[in-house]
Amino acid sequence: MTKRKIILLLLGLLTGCISISAQEKVQPKKGDGIHSLLIRHHRPGPEYRKQFIELNRRKLGKDNSLLLNVSYTLPPLKKKTPAPEDPYAVGAKKREPLFGKEQAGYGILSSELKGATFYIVSGHGGPDPGAIGKMNQHQLHEDEYAYDIALRLARNLMIKGAKVHIIIQDAADGIRNERILKNSKRETCMGATIPQGQVERLNQRSAKINALNKKDGKGYARGIFIHIDSRSKSKQTDVFFYHSPQTGSKQLANTMKKTFAGNYKRHQPGRGFTGTVSERSLYVLNNTIPVSVFVEIGNIQNPFDQRRVVIDDNRQALANWMCEAFVADHTQYRKKRKPGQ
């Protein structure tokens, strides 16, 4: 026998000895059966019983009875599979590349929106820049500013434990702090090319939301479509909201308005808030299953309204207030929900 074979044989014997010595042996108490013995040693169930009988077949009495003063081998304990981590638990560390390098990483700070699902759609994108305003020598493209606000809102919601689907995406543009956001045609509908035709574009994003909503299942789900209006240059407007005939949609729009009015009163006392809520037959509201709201940030042609979107702190404030409104809407939903729903 070669030296190599001898070493392998010794290793095999040693491994076998370690395995045998590691097996736990016990003696039954008076009146014990296999069931009671296994229960006492934390091995309940038919699988453990089957293993015990196989290990101790030659030591068992009639009908698999236990004999006193006999040592029996216990089947090895199963390793407990650790429970999967809750990706929406407070303290969970997350990463969303769409937010850009500096803001991609974030942590869940609260459970205010745990169990809630949101579908966030920034208007236009891809071949369609939407409304175009002019500030000095610069063009302001609706899709770029709406997208930046959408990303900020998504991040706010995620930090509060919500599940968020960002429907319109640009892999290169994260959250940006510049005043003038450069236009691109890179936006996709979650990876799919955005069509040229308006109806096709709207149908694509509505269908995507509905498909995701079907997978997400029942529970609190809300959609939001973020746009910037275009009117005559002299027409100044506050943020205004459209809703569908759905009761939940109207309630959400009114909660949005109430939240914005409260924040203007707090941060700009005396200014007032003239934003409106109205029902409007819009394709995306009519064809999207989850309760949704359509938000117009302002008039991209008006110099005063332009400051609402070109200043990054203002874009963040808009996202903060929309998030605050969603928290309030979610709270109302939970209060009205019947036990067990």
pTM, to two decimals: 0.77
Residue 100, C-beta contacts closer than 8 angstroms, at least 6 positions apart = 173, 174, 175, 176
Q: For residue 146, what pLDDT is reported?
A: 98
Clarify whether residues 175 and 75 are in a common domain.
no
For 185-209, write each residue's pLDDT tens digit.
999 999 999 999 999 999 999 999 9
Task: Specify the residue for token string 């071949």.
Answer: 127
Nearest CA to 156 out of 320, 12, 314 is that of: 320
Indicate whether 223 and 286 sit together in one domain.
yes
The mean pLDDT value of the chain amounts to 91
Residue 261 burial (10 A CB sphere; 0-12, 13-18, 19+) = middle
Instruction: Report residue 325 as tokens.
Output: 């409104």
The percent of residues in the chain predicted with pLDDT above 70, rounded, is 92
Q: Out of 18-32, 119-133, 243-257, 290-304, which region has the weakest mean confidence (pLDDT)?
A: 18-32
Residue 57 inside a domain? The answer is yes
> pLDDT tens-digit profile of 65-88?
999 999 999 999 988 767 677 889
Count of structural domains, the chain: 2
Q: Say whether both 305 and 243 belong to one domain.
A: yes
Is residue 341 assigned to a domain? no
129 plus 76 within the same structural domain: no
Full domain range(s) for residue 32 = 20-81
CATH number at residue 199: 3.40.630.40
Q: Can you give the pLDDT at residue 336?
A: 84
137 and 189 within one domain: yes
Is position 179 within any domain? yes
User: In Å, how far are 55, 89, 221 from 110, measured between CA atoms?
Assistant: 51, 8, 18
Residues 141 and 101 both lie in one domain: yes
46: CATH: 3.10.350
Q: Which of 59, 81, 103 is the last residue before a domain boundary?
A: 81
Q: Which of 53, 81, 109 is the last residue of a domain?
A: 81
The tens digit of pLDDT for each residue in 280-316 reads 999 999 999 999 999 999 999 999 999 999 999 999 9
Same domain, 102 and 192: yes
pLDDT band at 8 (very low <50, low <70, confident <90, very high): very low
pLDDT digits (tens, 9 = 90+) for 86-121: 889 999 999 999 999 999 999 999 999 999 999 999
Residues 44 and 144 in one domain: no
| pLDDT in the model for residue 1 | 53
Is residue 165 included in any domain, yes or no?
Answer: yes
Candidate from 53-62, 274-283, 305-314 with smallest mean pLDDT: 53-62
